A and B are shown apart, each in its own frame.
Chain A
Amino acid sequence: MADALVVRNLNKRFGGLRAVQDVEFTVRENETLALIGPNGAGKTTAFNLIMGFHRPDSGSVSAFGREMVGLRPHDVCAHGLARTFQVAKPFGGMTVLDNVMTGAFLRERGPKAAREKAREAIDFVGLSSRESTAARDLTTIDQRRLEMARALATQPRLLLLDEVMAGLNPAEVDQAVALVGKLSSRGLTIVIVEHLMRAIMAVAKHIVVLDHGQKIAEGSPKEIVENPEVIRAYLGSGYAQSAGAAT
């Protein structure tokens, strides 16, 4: 399989804080990669660097063979990368359909075609019954669904999901996990930032662990939960024991 996203030597400082240091990872096409780590580890910063919201001090981000560093976010999106935000940013005053149509306009110039594409995406995330609701009136999970639908409507090849499961109840997490699985089976490459290990184990075959802006581990879920450094920095020894007891 070809590489969808290759991140090399990525560095970003904010004043004295080295938010991201020499981070490297590769995502293969149609793979789901999870980026985990404690708060402040640099996960969201890495997203912002990849998507062009911040410019890295050094390093390269190549998506489907094209260099993304130096491009503005809308250009990155036009190259087939779409993202959701950690704190959902729906266009509150617009209806669900209008929100998603706005995304669909990237590839479909006419309102009719855009509306069609938007309905597909809304249907895919299971929001069809809320189509004419104002985005600001949606529940948390529905706002996350909306963000996903809006991102999907831009017809991306690579989707970056930033903590889409934060604040959801267990039943909703199951729904979200199923949705990510469905996206992946549709052929999308996914990079997901998440704290919930249960969800990560369910969706990702490949995990990268960041701590203080540096990559401290990379591997399969099993390798990660057994990695002593990951346990020290992030999971805690309690997790290792309970995970060990479960298996």
Chain B
Amino acid sequence: MRLRGRGGIALGVGIAVMAVLPLVVKNAFAVDICIRILLFAFIGTAWNLLGGYAKQLSLGHAAFFGLGAYTSTLLQIDFGISPWIGMAAGGVVGMLASLPIGWLCFRLRGPYFAIATIATAQVLMLIFLKFRDFAWGAEGTTIPNLGNAPLMMQFDGKAPYYYIVLCLLALALAITAWVERSRIGYYLVAIGEDEDAAEAIGIDVPRVKRNIYMISSFLTALAGTFYTQYIYFIDPQTAFNFSVSIEAALVSIVGGIGTLWGPLIGTILLETTSALLQSWLGNSIGGVQLTVYSLILMAVILWKPTGIMGYVSELTRRRRGKAAGS
């Protein structure tokens, strides 16, 4: 009980800090890093619903990120539709795309599933690269700069972007918190543990997987629209970049898969490390910061395969065990 009270306070403080951060921090580079952290925490949280709770290791979430980005951009440039609406439309497109992709990939389990999802994202990237008449091909396009146009999701400073992505993250966390407490959450974890046992106690495994994949894809597509609006540019390499898929899985794995806060904590750790390494080592021998980054990553995964959150809950359990024993 006391722990929960303390957790509540920590949450309150965290929200307050997040809310005032751009008012205090004026350095554009720092705000940019914060936006990236929130964005990848958001994608990671979306990924975590499927990859963490149900342990369906998707490495193809870039597919939905890209579809979201292209949907809103096409709607905006070809039809003048606001990216706010485009964002929702992109979410729906991502969600619908998850149906055939899931239909194909969920036949496979474990690493085979992961490989199949990689392939779907790659195929989508190739489609957008090769069919030039459809969406600008390999050159991509810039988003027309309209100055400060909130209705078109364009702003002067970086702070508004920060708040948008903060809201997206809050949405994903709220959905996750709800899922965790409800029947679906139990079903997802059961599926992740043993699909046959899950079926045997009445869980419609394919249906549960499909539904959570739809939610996860919807959210990931929203991130795609946001990112494109933020950087004013889109091309297939950016939109369907494999590193988006990897990052989504990685931040969750490092932070702790199947936990509410895992992806956020993982992103803060990884993005901060990467940014700091970049500024410290970026000017020395090329690529050295990536090497150090990878070494840190390997250390974390070897040392605590359950992620930071797994380590934290282990600590609290131990402390509770001691308290109960004395």
- A residues within 8 Å of B by Cβ? 51, 53, 72-74, 77-78, 82-83, 85, 89-94, 98, 101-103, 105-106, 109, 111, 114, 150-151, 153-154
Answer yes or no: B133 CB below 8 A from chain A CBs. Answer: no
Contact pick for A74, options B181, B186, B205, CB 8 Å: B205
Which residues of the partner chain A approach B204 to less than 8 Å between Cβ atoms?
72, 74
Partner among A74, A82, A89, A101 whose Cβ is within 8 Å of the Cβ of B194: A89
Interface size class of B (residues with CB under 8 A): 10 to 19
- Which residue of B is nearest A48, CB measured? B196
**B3 CB-CB contact with A under 8 Å:** no
Minimum CB–CB distance from B23 to chain A (whole Å) comes to 39
A89 touches B187 (CB 8 A): no
Contact of B201 among A72, A93, A94, A102 (CB under 8 A): A102
Contact B201 A77 (CB under 8 A): yes
Which DSSP category, helix, strand, loop or mixed, fits chain B's interface? Answer: helix
Q: A51-B200, A73-B196, A83-B200 are in contact. List 14 more A-B contacts (CB 8 A).
A: A72-B204, A77-B201, A77-B202, A85-B197, A89-B194, A91-B194, A91-B197, A93-B189, A93-B193, A105-B183, A105-B187, A111-B181, A151-B200, A154-B202
Of the listed residues A91, A101, A109, A153, the one surrounded by the most CB atoms of chain B closer than 10 A to its CB is A91
The complex places the Cα of A83 from the Cα of B199 at a distance, in Å, of 11
Query: Is the Cβ of A82 less than 8 Å from the Cβ of B201?
Result: yes
Q: Is the CB of B202 within 8 A of A74?
A: yes
Q: How many angstroms between the C-alpha atoms of A94 and B189 in the bound complex?
A: 8
Q: How far, in whole Å, are A167 and B115 apart by their CA atoms in the complex?
A: 39
Closest A residue, CB atoms, query B207: A74
**In the complex, are the beta carbons of A89 and B197 less than 8 A apart?**
yes
**A85 in contact with B200 given A91-B193, A111-B181 (CB within 8 Å):** yes
Q: In the complex, which residues of chain A have a beta carbon less than 8 angstroms from the beta carbon of B197?
A: 85, 89-91
A-B residue pair count with CB separations less than 8 angstroms: 74
A155 to chain B, nearest CB (A): 10
B 178-220 to A, binary, CB cutoff 8 A, 1 in contact else 0: 0001110011011001101111111111000000000000000
Closest CB-CB distance, B194 to chain A, in whole Å?
Answer: 5
B193 contacts across to A, CB distance below 8 A: 90-94
Complex Cα distance, B203 from A105, in Å, reads 9
Contact A154 B201 (CB under 8 A): yes
Q: How many Å from the CB of A177 to the closest CB on chain B?
A: 23
- Within B123-148, the residues touching A (CB, 8 Å) are none
Q: How distant is the Cα of A151 from the Cα of B202 in the complex, in angstroms? A: 10
- Bound together, the chains give a CA A118 to CA B66 distance in angstroms of 43
6 cross-chain CB contacts under 8 A = A85-B196, A89-B200, A103-B201, A111-B182, A151-B200, A151-B201
Known: A91-B194, A111-B181, A111-B183. A74 touches B189 (CB 8 A): no
Q: Is A74 a contact of B203 with CB atoms below 8 Å? A: yes
Q: Which residue of B lies closest to A98 (CB)?
A: B186
Known: A89-B196, A91-B194, A92-B193. Is A106-B186 also a contact (CB below 8 A)? no
Give A83 to B196 CA distance when docked, in angstroms: 11
Neighbouring A residues of B190 by C-beta, 8 Å = 91, 94, 102
**A105-B183, A111-B181, A114-B183 as given contacts; A77 in contact with B189, CB under 8 Å:** no
The 10 nearest A-B residue pairs measured at CB: A106-B202, A77-B202, A89-B197, A91-B193, A73-B199, A103-B201, A105-B183, A102-B186, A89-B194, A102-B190
Contacts of B198 in A (CB 8 A): 102
Q: How far is the CA of A104 from the CA of B196 in the complex (A)?
A: 17
Chain A: which residue is nearest B206 at the CB level? Answer: A72
Which residue on chain A has the smallest CB distance to residue B186? A102
CA distance A76 to B194 in the complex (A): 18
Contact across chains for B200 and A73 when beta carbons are under 8 A apart: yes
**Distance (Å) between the CB of B314 and the closest chain A CB?**
11
Contacts of B200 in A (CB 8 A): 51, 53, 73-74, 77, 82-83, 85, 89, 151
Chain A residues near B205 (CB-CB < 8 A): 74
Which of B183, B193, B196, B197 gathers the greatest number of chain A CB atoms within 10 Å?
Answer: B197
Closest Cβ neighbor of B203 among chain A residues = A74
Tell which of B182, B186, B196 has the most Cβ of chain A within 10 Å: B186
- Residues of chain B contacted by A83 (CB below 8 angstroms): 200
Which residue of chain A is the closest to B204 with respect to CB atoms?
A: A74
Max chain B Cβ within 10 angstroms of own Cβ: one of A74, A111, A114: A74
Residues of B within 8 Å of A150, CB to CB, are 201
In the complex, what residue of chain B is closest to A103 when comparing beta carbons?
Answer: B201
Q: How far is the CB of B201 from chain A (nearest CB, A)?
A: 4
Q: How far is the CB of B145 from chain A (nearest CB, A)?
A: 49
CB distance from B192 to the nearest CB of A (A): 8
CB distance from A151 to the nearest CB of B (A): 7
In this complex, the member of A53, A94, A105 whose beta carbon has the largest number of chain B beta carbons within 10 angstroms is A105
Partner of B183, one of A77, A92, A93, A109: A109
Closest Cβ of chain A: how far from B135's Cβ, in Å? 40
A91-B194, A94-B193 given; A74·B182 CB < 8 A: no
- How far is B183's CA from A171's CA once the two chains are assembled, in angstroms? 37
Q: A93-B189, A105-B183, A111-B182 known; A78 and B202 CB under 8 Å?
A: yes
Closest to A89 in B: B197
- What is the bound-complex CA distance between A130 and B214, given in angstroms? 36
Q: Give Cα distance in the complex from A83 to B190, angstroms.
A: 16
